[in-house]
């Protein structure tokens, strides 16, 4: 790979640099900062939840408030934190990784980002309105918004549905941009099978987003119809079916979890290879796995609905198809092990988080297999077993993955090394804190504790208290990462070299740290 090409252009000055941005690095940074801020907001909501669950009737939140907090926690973490962070990494890295000067459609890119703050405002505005006496707060039907409960919800729910429409618009536009960039903007000589794994993971992610988000958008429009326009999509009296909403939601919702997962599954090989000082193992296998995961993810959605009373044949089909996804996911694990095997590993913070990802997402995935049994799911569904499963899968996987990615690229993006000591503290507090928070929740589910309850029976007391106290540690530990990020942005810490990490490969590590405002205006030569 040849040397970089950069111009003498310097970035625009002032706030309009960010408001009017067309530069993929700037837009990527905005996505990242927004996502990290939302992660902290979602985390705060999580602490409120765990505070309420510290004792059987803590009463720090009323049941009405509790239902709203759990709903917004879910929506914020999925749509406000994880998706923007992975989109931020995509925006920053994909053009560089394919040797392009920018995304294919830079203004569309900025539009995609700037739709996010309004969506966040709409989601939480009903709380503000409640403070001044209007309405009863925001949506309270869970992030899954099941009808008819969501149809009964107060006015705040409509704000949430419109926020979902804005989020859908943003994600769809971003996905179009990503797909076109990958197809159209690759440097000469960079065939699809030479493109970094992260780029492939985002190609599949973007295709999935286009394939399923419009369905959710259609669905929330129908909810608003049932709420305010007299339609009966989800009401039996008019010939409709509440379970139809479940189908629509999960048709989107299941691929959504792979949309959250795949980008980090794409970053993992980069990080593991760098710190094991070995080439990536099984590139083709991973690419095929991404494709297979993408395809399978859209035909397994009703494993979230095993107790909804679908016909037996449907239950059997969805169980069997869900089990099939374990195969390509296992391939990914195998390739990660293959990348580490007989390497020469060092354990900087990104590597620690990447290894943690393997362990924790492994637990998440394996417990997913347990849940796929349509009969046994009767005992797990909507209990804390499920809550623990999806937190292992979503935090243990994507969140640990984006944290690893953030530490990995922080020196490149800011030009400064973060504090490795603080990073290690973050990792251990996070890893241990996470396990002590969520492992007891498997136990709670098995013991019979349902989810989405603010108060609980006495036999669940001790494990809840352990889980809550640990959750406070887990939450606090994230502030260490915030400290490190702020430190680097402010220009403190050792200067980072171009390559940053001795084992690092890729076009991004041929650029200076931080890269110039414009990069690859003339494409690099790829052999």
Partner 1 sequence: MSAVPGGHDHYFVPEPSPYPILLAGAIFLLGLGAAFLVNSITLGWAPLAGGGGLVAYVLYRWFGRVIGETRAGAYGLQEDRAFRWGMMWFITSEVVFFASLFGVLFYERNIAIPWLASFSDAHSPLSTYAPWPTFHAAWPSGGPAGKPFATVSPWGIPALNTLILLSSGVTITWAHAGLRAGNRGRLGWGLALTILLGATFLVLQAREFAHAYGELGLTLSSGVYGATFFILTGFHGLHVTVGAIMLSAVLARAIKGDFTPQDHFGFEAASWYWHFVDVVWLMLFVFVYWL
Partner 2 sequence: MSRGRLLSKGGAALALLGPACAFARAFYDFQTPVTPIGRDVLFIHDLFLVIIAALFLGGTGTLLYSVYAHRYRLNRKPASFTGPVGAKQWIWAGIPFAALLFLDYVILGIPALHSILALADMSGSALTIKVTGRQWNWQYEYPTYGIRFTSTLSTPQDQIANRAPKDEHFLLEVDRPLVLPTHEKVRIILASADVIHAFWVPSFGIKQDAVPGYLRQTWVEIDKPGTYRGQCAELCGVGHAFMPIVVVAKSPQDFNRWVGREHADEAAQQAASSATYTRDELVAAGKKVFDTNCAACHQPNGLGIPGAFPPIAGGHAFAAAAPMISALESRGFYKNGDIVVGPVADHIRIVLQGIPGTPMPSFASQLSPADIAAVVTYERNEFGNHTGDAVEPAQVAAMKAGH
Cα–Cα distances in angstroms (integers) from residue 264 to residues 30, 353, 369, in the given order: 19, 11, 21
Nearest by Cα to 93 from 189, 184, 3, 178: 178
- Which of 350, 440, 503, 523 is in the footprint of partner 1 by CB under 8 A? 523
Q: Which of residues 403-422 bind partner 2 (CB under 8 A)?
A: none
Under the binding rule (CB under 8 A), the answer on residue 382 touching partner 1 is no
Q: Which of residues 168-227 bind partner 2 (CB under 8 A)?
A: none
Are 146 and 201 in contact by the 8 Å Cβ rule? The answer is no
Under the binding rule (CB under 8 A), the answer on residue 17 touching partner 1 is yes
Cα–Cα distances in angstroms (integers) from residue 407 to residues 238, 354, 360, 363, 400, in the given order: 54, 11, 18, 23, 11
Are 505 and 273 in contact by the 8 Å Cβ rule? The answer is yes
Buried b (16+ CB within 10 A) or exposed e, 434-459: bbbbbbbbbbbbeeebbbebbebeee
**Residue 450 in 3-state DSSP?**
strand
Taking CB within 5 to 8 Å according to partner kind, which of partner 2, partner 1, none is near residue 308?
A: partner 2
Count CA atoms within 13 Å of residue 43 on its CB side. 22
- Which of 30, 212, 280, 387 is in the footprint of partner 2 by CB under 8 A? 280
x/- letters, 366..395, toward partner 2 (CB under 8 A): xx-xx--xxxx-xx-xxx------------
Under the binding rule (CB under 8 A), the answer on residue 93 touching partner 1 is no
CB of 475 to partner 2, least distance (A): 18
Q: Which of residues 290-319 bind partner 2 (CB under 8 A)?
A: 307-309, 312, 315-316, 319
Q: Which of residues 243-302 bind partner 1 (CB under 8 A)?
A: 244, 247-248, 251
Q: Which stretch binds partner 1 (CB under 8 A): 100-108, 269-277, 324-332, 369-377?
A: 100-108
- Which of 4, 21, 357, 515 is in the footprint of partner 1 by CB under 8 A? 21
Taking CB within 5 to 8 Å according to partner kind, which of partner 1, partner 2, none is near residue 436?
A: partner 2
- Residue 46 per-residue DSSP state: H
- Which of 40, 54, 149, 210 is in the footprint of partner 1 by CB under 8 A? 210
Under the binding rule (CB under 8 A), the answer on residue 114 touching partner 1 is yes
CB of 396 to partner 1, least distance (A): 30
CB of 130 to partner 2, least distance (A): 7
Under the binding rule (CB under 8 A), the answer on residue 277 touching partner 2 is yes
Sign of CA dihedral 262, 267, 268, 269: positive
Q: Which stretch binds partner 1 (CB under 8 A): 75-83, 105-113, 255-263, 433-441?
A: 105-113
- Which of 213, 249, 409, 427 is in the footprint of partner 1 by CB under 8 A? 213
- Which of 2, 326, 497, 499 is in the footprint of partner 2 by CB under 8 A? 326
- Which of 33, 44, 51, 221 is in the footprint of partner 1 by CB under 8 A? 221
CB of 75 to partner 1, least distance (A): 15
Neighbouring CB atoms inside 10 A of 284's CB total 9
Q: Which stretch binds partner 2 (CB under 8 A): 36-44, 164-172, 438-446, 487-495?
A: 438-446
Give the separation between CA 125 and CA 137, rounded to whole angstroms. 9
- Which of 127, 333, 425, 472 is in the footprint of partner 2 by CB under 8 A? 333
Total of residues contacting partner 1 (CB under 8 A): 81
For the chain, the first-to-last Cα distance in angstroms comes to 7
- Which of 45, 69, 104, 406 is in the footprint of partner 1 by CB under 8 A? 104
Total of residues contacting partner 2 (CB under 8 A): 102
**Angle (deg, nearest 10), helices 116-131 and 24-52:** 30
> For residues 92 and 245, which CB has a smaller minimum distance to partner 2 in the complex?
245
Under the binding rule (CB under 8 A), the answer on residue 1 touching partner 1 is no
x/- letters, 445..474, toward partner 2 (CB under 8 A): -xxx-x-xxxxxxx----------------
Under the binding rule (CB under 8 A), the answer on residue 279 touching partner 2 is yes
Q: Which of residues 138-197 bind partner 1 (CB under 8 A)?
A: 155, 158-159, 162-163, 165-166, 169, 172, 175-177, 179-180, 183-185, 188
**Helix extents (H) in 53-101:** 63-75, 83-98
Taking CB within 5 to 8 Å according to partner kind, which of partner 2, partner 1, none is near residue 210?
A: partner 1
Are 301 and 247 in contact by the 8 Å Cβ rule? The answer is yes
Neighbouring CB atoms inside 10 A of 409's CB total 22
> For residues 232 and 451, which CB has a smaller minimum distance to partner 1 in the complex?
232
Cis peptide bond N-terminal to 173, omega within 30: no
Under the binding rule (CB under 8 A), the answer on residue 118 touching partner 1 is yes
Give the separation between CA 198 and CA 28, rounded to whole angstroms. 15
Nearest by Cα to 264 from 334, 193, 350, 341: 350
Give the separation between CA 351 and CA 339, rounded to whole angstroms. 13
Give the separation between CA 486 and CA 474, rounded to whole angstroms. 19
Taking CB within 5 to 8 Å according to partner kind, which of partner 1, partner 2, none is near residue 453?
A: partner 2
> For residues 112 and 156, which CB has a smaller minimum distance to partner 2 in the complex?
156
Nearest by Cα to 409 from 422, 398, 397, 418: 418
Give the separation between CA 31 and CA 112, rounded to whole angstroms. 10
> For residues 211 and 393, which CB has a smaller minimum distance to partner 1 in the complex?
211
Under the binding rule (CB under 8 A), the answer on residue 108 touching partner 1 is yes
398: its two tokens: 């994507």
Cα–Cα distances in angstroms (integers) from residue 204 to residues 12, 285, 287, 288, 445, in the given order: 34, 14, 9, 10, 34
- Which of 8, 131, 132, 237 is in the footprint of partner 1 by CB under 8 A? 237
Instruction: Tell the residue number behind the tokens 């292992």, with chain if given.
Output: 392
């Amino acid at each position: 790979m040849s040397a970089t090409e950069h111009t003498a252009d310097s970035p625009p000055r002032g706030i309009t640099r960010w408001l009017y941005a067309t530069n993929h690095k700037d837009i990527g940074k905005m996505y990242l900062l927004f996502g990290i801020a939302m992660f902290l907001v979602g985390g705060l909501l999580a602490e409120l939840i765990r505070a309420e669950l510290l004792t059987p009737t803590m009463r720090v939140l009323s049941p009405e408030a509790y239902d709203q907090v759990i709903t917004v926690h879910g929506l914020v973490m999925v749509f406000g934190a994880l998706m923007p962070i992975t989109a931020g990494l995509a925006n920053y890295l994909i053009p560089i990784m394919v040797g392009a000067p920018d995304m294919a459609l830079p203004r569309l890119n900025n539009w995609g980002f700037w739709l996010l703050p309004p969506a966040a405002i709409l989601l939480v505005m009903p709380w503000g309105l409640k403070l001044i006496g209007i309405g009863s707060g925001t949506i309270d039907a869970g992030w899954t918004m099941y009808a008819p409960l969501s149809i009964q919800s107060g006015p705040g729910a409509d704000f949430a549905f419109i926020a979902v429409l804005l989020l859908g618009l943003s994600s769809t536009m971003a996905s179009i941009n990503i797909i076109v960039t990958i197809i159209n903007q690759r440097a000469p000589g960079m065939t699809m099978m030479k493109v970094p794994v992260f780029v492939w993971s985002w190609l599949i992610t973007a295709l999935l987003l286009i394939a399923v988000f419009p369905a959710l958008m259609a669905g929330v429009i129908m909810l608003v119809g049932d709420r305010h326009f007299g339609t009966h999509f989800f009401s039996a009296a008019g010939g409709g079916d509440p379970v139809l909403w479940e189908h629509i939601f999960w048709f989107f919702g299941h691929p959504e979890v792979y949309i959250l997962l795949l980008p980090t599954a794409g970053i993992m090989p980069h990080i593991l290879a760098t710190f094991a000082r070995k080439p990536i193992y099984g590139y083709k296998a991973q690419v095929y796995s991404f494709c297979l995961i993408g395809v399978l993810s859209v035909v397994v959605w009703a494993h979230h609905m095993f107790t909804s009373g679908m016909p037996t044949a449907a239950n059997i089909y969805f169980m069997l198809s869900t089990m099939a996804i374990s195969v390509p996911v296992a391939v990914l694990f195998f390739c990660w092990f293959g990348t580490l095997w007989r390497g020469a590993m060092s354990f900087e913070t990104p590597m620690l988080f990447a290894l943690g990802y393997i362990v924790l997402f492994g637990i998440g995935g394996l417990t997913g297999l347990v849940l796929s049994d349509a009969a046994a799911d009767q005992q797990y569904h909507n209990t804390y077993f499920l809550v623990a499963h999806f937190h292992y899968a979503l935090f243990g996987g994507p969140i640990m993955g984006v944290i690893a990615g953030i530490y990995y690229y922080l020196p490149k993006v800011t030009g400064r090394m973060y504090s490795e000591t603080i990073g290690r503290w973050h990792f251990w507090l996070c890893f241990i804190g996470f396990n002590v928070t969520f492992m007891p929740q498997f136990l709670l589910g098995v013991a019979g504790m349902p989810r989405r309850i603010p108060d609980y029976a006495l036999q669940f007391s001790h494990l809840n208290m352990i889980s809550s106290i640990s959750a406070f540690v887990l939450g606090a530990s994230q502030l260490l990462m915030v400290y490190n990020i702020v430190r680097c942005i402010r220009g403190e810490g050792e200067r980072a070299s171009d390559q940053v990490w001795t084992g690092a490969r890729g076009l991004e590590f041929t650029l200076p740290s931080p890269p110039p405002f414009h990069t690859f205006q003339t494409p690099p030569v790829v052999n």
